[in-house]
Amino acid sequence: EVQLQASGGGLVQAGGSLRLSCAASGFTYDDYVMGWFRQAPGKEREGVSCIRSSDGDEYYADSVKGRFTISSDPAKKTVYLQMNNLKPEDTAVYYCAADLPGYYSFSYYMRPGGMEHWGKGTLVTVSS
């Protein structure tokens, strides 16, 4: 059974930084995609960023490009999302997600509900 454990959310002022972590267990393949979605109050869940284990290729939503950086530790099956220059509009519940194997396009995986496995969300609040 795949399990995803996310951590690192919190309250930060605009312009500040946070780092989210997501540790996975139960993967049966070494080829996978892991990433982050977020859902703000009253809005649809949106894909934020993901990374593919086979080639390290990364995806970022336009709204976070240049501010967020995704990275991974394959040995630990853990992904990180470094969020810099946070804005109030980044306030949301952030969800870690994963899918195996990871050979489809990022547009497939980054659809709302595009990944099979989901962790519990972690709240990020950015104050103005």
Segment 51-106, tens digit of pLDDT: 999 999 999 999 999 999 999 998 999 999 999 999 999 999 999 999 998 889 99
Counting every residue written for the chain, the total comes to: 128
Is 49:81 a contact under the CB 8 Å cutoff? yes
- What pLDDT is recorded for position 28? 81
Calpha distance 36→81 (Å, rounded): 8
- 13/76 Cα distance (integer angstroms): 31
Question: 75-113 as b/e, with b when 16 or more CB fall inside 10 Å?
Answer: eebbbbbebeebeeebbbbbbbbbbbebeeebeebbeee
Condensed to tens digits (0 to 9), the pLDDT of residues 1-33 reads 999 999 999 999 999 999 999 999 998 888 999
